C-alpha cells in the first residue's frame, strides 16, 4: 500500500464512486472514467479516477494586471490560458487584504479569524513566537495525504517559523522555498528565519526564485506522474523587492519607468513559470486529469510595485475591492466548462473544499468549512449561488457583501455602503440614503463576528512597541527580510 494511503483517514475519507460522480456532475464524471488519452508526443496519460491538483498563488498581483483581466502592457498568455481553458471569476475574493491570513484561510477552507490568524506577523526577527497556522486546523495537504496523494510545496509559506508549523509538518512530502513573507529574488540568503530551504535545511545556491520554484514544481510533477499529486506553488512574484533578470527586463525596453519595467519583467517571469508547469502536464498527457487553480493572495500595492487593481478602488491592506478582489480562475479539461466567465461571488476559502471534493474526499465532521465546493455550481448541478454573503475582518477594518451590496469600514471607522453592480469602483457611498439596507448588512456582520476569536498576535513591531522591548522597538525591516 502507498505510504500516504496507509496513514488512514484522520483528515478525510473516500467518497463512493456514485457519490463522487454526483458531486462532479454527469459530464465531469464521464470524463474522469473514460480510460486513456494520448499526449501530443505519443505518451499515454492513463486516468486514475483521481485528478492531480495544481494550486498556483501569485503574491500581490493586482486585479487588473493580467491580459485576461484587461491589461495591455504586460502579456500573460500562459496564465490567461487557464481562463481560456476553464473558468474565470470576475468576483473572486481573497479572505484578507494581506498575505499570511489569506494563506491560512486558503490552506484550511475556514475564515482564518475563527482561529486567530487575522494579522500578518511582521518580519521573522520580531514576529510573535506563537505565530503559525494553528495546529488545531488541518491543511488541504493533510487532507489529501490519506487519499493517496503525493504533496509538494514550492515557494512562499508565511504560516509559521517554528518546526511544528513548517510545511513538512503540515502535510507536505516535499518543500522548497522560504518561511517568511518576502524574500530577495536574486540571493539565497534572506535574513534570520528566512533562508531558502529544501525540507528543513538551507540550500547553498539559488539563481532566481521564480525560476527555481518553477523547476522544482516541474520536477515534482515528472517524478510523480504515475500517482495522484498535489502541487502547491505559491510564488513570491510579484511581491517586492522589485528584482528581475536581464533576460526578462529585455522584453520590456519600451517601458521607460524603471519600477514599472521591473514589475513587468517579474510578471513575465511568473507567466513563463506557469507556462512551464502547464507544459509539463500537457507533455505527460495529463491535462484532462489535472485540476489547475490560480489566484492572487490579495490586491496590488500600487504605490510600492505598480501592481494595479483597475477598475477597483483601494490597494493591498484595505477591505476596499482593490485590496480583496483578485484574479481567480481554474481549469479541468473535460470536466469544467471552457472559456466560462462567472460573475458569481466566490472566495479563496472555496479552493480547499473544491480540491477535497475533486480528490474524492468528504467534508470534515469536526470542523465546519466556510468555503464550498464550486464544481457542482460550475457544472450546472446547483442553480443557487455558492454564497449569499461574504465577510472580512482585518484589525480595525471590516466588510460584508450580500448580493450586490457591500458595507465596509476602514480604519477611520466611517461606514460606507455600495451597490457593486452599479459602482464597481466604490465611488458613491449610499449609506446615508439606505438605512434599512445598512442595518441588514450590519446585523449579518455582527452575527458572523460573534463567532470569531481575537487575533493571536499583532504585527511584530507593534507587539515590541507595546512591550517596550529594550528602549525601542526594532525598526521595520525591508521587504526582503520578511513581513
Whether 89 and 196 map to the same domain: the answer is: yes
What's the pTM?
0.88
For residue 470, being part of any structural domain is answered with: no
H helices present in 284-392, as ranges:
302-305, 321-324, 351-358, 375-378
Cell reading at 235: 510564488
pLDDT in tens, 39-73: 444 444 555 589 999 999 999 999 999 999 999 99
Please tell me which residue, 154 or 3, carries the higher pLDDT value: 154
For residue 462, being part of any structural domain is answered with: no
Whether 140 and 225 map to the same domain: the answer is: yes
Whether 419 and 330 map to the same domain: the answer is: no
Angle, CA of 231, 158 and 456, to the nearest 5°? 130
Please tell me which residue, 122 or 66, carries the higher pLDDT value: 66
Whether 180 and 328 map to the same domain: the answer is: yes
Cell reading at 304: 510600492
CATH number, domain containing residue 437: 3.30.1120.10
Q: Report pLDDT for 40.
A: 42
Contact 353, 369 (CB under 8 A): yes
Whether 284 and 353 map to the same domain: the answer is: yes
Whether 99 and 131 map to the same domain: the answer is: yes
pLDDT in tens, 454-474: 999 997 555 444 544 444 434
- Of 378, 404, 437, the residue at which a domain comes to its end is 378
- Of 317, 346, 378, the residue at which a domain comes to its end is 378
Q: Report pLDDT for 191.
A: 75
**What residues are annotated to the active site?**
99, 158
Whether 403 and 349 map to the same domain: the answer is: no
Exposed, middle or buried by CB within 10 Å (0-12, 13-18, 19+), for 366? Answer: exposed
For residue 157, being part of any structural domain is answered with: yes
Whether 219 and 319 map to the same domain: the answer is: yes
pLDDT in tens, 192-233: 789 999 999 999 999 999 999 999 999 999 999 999 999 999
Q: Report pLDDT for 81.
A: 98
Compute the average pLDDT of residues 362-368.
87
Q: Report pLDDT for 10.
A: 38
Residue 369: domain span:
5-378
Whether 276 and 425 map to the same domain: the answer is: no
Q: Report pLDDT for 462.
A: 57
* Sign of the dihedral through C-alpha 461, 409, 303, 61: positive
Contact 127, 460 (CB under 8 A): yes
Cell reading at 333: 479539461
Q: Cα separation of 140 and 137, whole Å?
A: 10
Whether 426 and 317 map to the same domain: the answer is: no
For residue 385, being part of any structural domain is answered with: no
Number of domains in the chain: 2
Residue 429 dihedral angles phi and psi, to the nearest 5°:
-70, 115
Contact 113, 395 (CB under 8 A): no
- Candidates 394, 352, 456; CA nearest to 132 is 456
pLDDT in tens, 103-120: 999 999 999 999 999 999
Q: Cα separation of 194 and 191, whole Å?
A: 5
CATH number, domain containing residue 340: 3.40.720.10
Q: Report pLDDT for 44.
A: 41
Cell reading at 388: 449569499
Output the average pLDDT for the chain. 89
- Candidates 50, 47, 48; CA nearest to 24 is 50
Whether 294 and 428 map to the same domain: the answer is: no
For residue 200, being part of any structural domain is answered with: yes
Q: Report pLDDT for 472.
A: 42
Q: Report pLDDT for 46.
A: 54
For residue 482, being part of any structural domain is answered with: no
For residue 461, being part of any structural domain is answered with: no
Q: Report pLDDT for 126.
A: 86
Provide the pLDDT confidence category of residue 271 given band limits of 50, 70 and 90.
Answer: very high
For residue 468, being part of any structural domain is answered with: no
Whether 333 and 214 map to the same domain: the answer is: yes
Amino acid at each position: 500500500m502507498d505510504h500516504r494511503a496507509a496513514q488512514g483517514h484522520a483528515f478525510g475519507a473516500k467518497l463512493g464512486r456514485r457519490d463522487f460522480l454526483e458531486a462532479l456532475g454527469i459530464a465531469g464524471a464521464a470524463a474522469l472514467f473514460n480510460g486513456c488519452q494520448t499526449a501530443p508526443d505519443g505518451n499515454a496519460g492513463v486516468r486514475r479516477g483521481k485528478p492531480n491538483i495544481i494550486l498556483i498563488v501569485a503574491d500581490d498581483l493586482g486585479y487588473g494586471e493580467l491580459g485576461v483581466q484587461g491589461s495591455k502592457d504586460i502579456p500573460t498568455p500562459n496564465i490567461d490560458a487557464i481562463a481560456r481553458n476553464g473558468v474565470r471569476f470576475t468576483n473572486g475574493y481573497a479572505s484578507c487584504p494581506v498575505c499570511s491570513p489569506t494563506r491560512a484561510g486558503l490552506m484550511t477552507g475556514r475564515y482564518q479569524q475563527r482561529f486567530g490568524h487575522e494579522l500578518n506577523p511582521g518580519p521573522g526577527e520580531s514576529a510573535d513566537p506563537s505565530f503559525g497556522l494553528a495546529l488545531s486546523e488541518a491543511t488541504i495537504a493533510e487532507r489529501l495525504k490519506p487519499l493517496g496523494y503525493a504533496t509538494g510545496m514550492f515557494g512562499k509559506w508565511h504560516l509559521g517559523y517554528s518546526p511544528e508549523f513548517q510545511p513538512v509538518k503540515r502535510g507536505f512530502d516535499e518543500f522548497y522555498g522560504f518561511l517568511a513573507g518576502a524574500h530577495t529574488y536574486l540571493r539565497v540568503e534572506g535574513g534570520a528565519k528566512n533562508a531558502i530551504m529544501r525540507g528543513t535545511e538551507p540550500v547553498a545556491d539559488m539563481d532566481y526564485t521564480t525560476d527555481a520554484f518553477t523547476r522544482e514544481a516541474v520536477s515534482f510533477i515528472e517524478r510523480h506522474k504515475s500517482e495522484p499529486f498535489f502541487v502547491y506553488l505559491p510564488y513570491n512574484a510579484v511581491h517586492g523587492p522589485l528584482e528581475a533578470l536581464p533576460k526578462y527586463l529585455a522584453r520590456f525596453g519600451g517601458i521607460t519607468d524603471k519600477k514599472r519595467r521591473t514589475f513587468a519583467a517579474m510578471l513575465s517571469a511568473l507567466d513563463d513559470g506557469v507556462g512551464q508547469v502547464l507544459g509539463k502536464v500537457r507533455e505527460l498527457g495529463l491535462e484532462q486529469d489535472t485540476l489547475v487553480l490560480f489566484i492572487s493572495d490579495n490586491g496590488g500595492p500600487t504605490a510600492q510595485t505598480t501592481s494595479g487593481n483597475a477598475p477597483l478602488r483601494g490597494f493591498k491592506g484595505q477591505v476596499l475591492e482593490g485590496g480583496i478582489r483578485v484574479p481567480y480562475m481554474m481549469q479541468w479539461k473535460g470536466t469544467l466548462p471552457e472559456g466560462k466567465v462567472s460573475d458569481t461571488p466566490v472566495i479563496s476559502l472555496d479552493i480547499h473544499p473544491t480540491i477535497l471534493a475533486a480528490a474524492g474526499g468528504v467534508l470534515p465532521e469536526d470542523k465546519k468549512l466556510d468555503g464550498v465546493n464550486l464544481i457542482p455550481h460550475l457544472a450546472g448541478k446547483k442553480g443557487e449561488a455558492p454564497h449569499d454573503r461574504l465577510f472580512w475582518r482585518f484589525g480595525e477594518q471590516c466588510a460584508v457583501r450580500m448580493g450586490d451590496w457591500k458595507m465596509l469600514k476602514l480604519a477611520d471607522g466611517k461606514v460606507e455602503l455600495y451597490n457593486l453592480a452599479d459602482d464597481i469602483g466604490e465611488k458613491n457611498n449610499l449609506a446615508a440614503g439606505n438605512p434599512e439596507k445598512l442595518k441588514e448588512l450590519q446585523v449579518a456582520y455582527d452575527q458572523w463576528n460573534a463567532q470569531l476569536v481575537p487575533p493571536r498576535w499583532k504585527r511584530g513591531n507593534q507587539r515590541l512597541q507595546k512591550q517596550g522591548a529594550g528602549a525601542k522597538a526594532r525598526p521595520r525591516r525591508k521587504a526582503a527580510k520578511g513581513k
